[in-house]
Amino acid sequence: MRKSFDGLSGLISSEMEADPLNGDVYLFINRRGDRLKMLVWERGGFWLFYKRLERGRFQLPGHGESEISYQTLVMMLDGIDYTKIRRKKRYNRSEILEITS
């Protein structure tokens, strides 16, 4: 957790083979799971967010590279166990297009 803007963007480029300037949010969590850094590019510069929990750990989505939704990220940061959340069915245009195709 010692890396800052340049070190983290270098990790994204070299290890993940991704472009850190694409606007995606990249999460870095320490081994104990109680500290998190979020790196995101926004017009003209990087944002680096850092959160240290005084008690407890972040619930991780899984090992390695994975994609999570904005809602899951917010629940993770708030300490909500998102694996036990039941989602109600909602309209999803992509599902409708798959069924009719």
In which domain, by residue range, is 88 found? 5-100
pLDDT band at 9; cut points 50, 70, 90: very high
Measured distance CA(35)–CA(41) in Å, rounded: 20
Q: Is the pLDDT of residue 36 over 70?
A: yes
- How many CB atoms neighbour CB 6 within 10 A? 10
Whether the model pTM is above 0.95: no
CA dist 28 and 47 (Å) reads 14
Structure tokens given for 23: 């606007």
Q: Number of folded domains in the chain? A: 1
pLDDT tens digits for 73-92? 898 888 888 888 887 887 87
> What Cα–Cα distance (Å) separates residue 22 from each residue in 37, 42, 44, 47, 82?
18, 9, 12, 13, 27
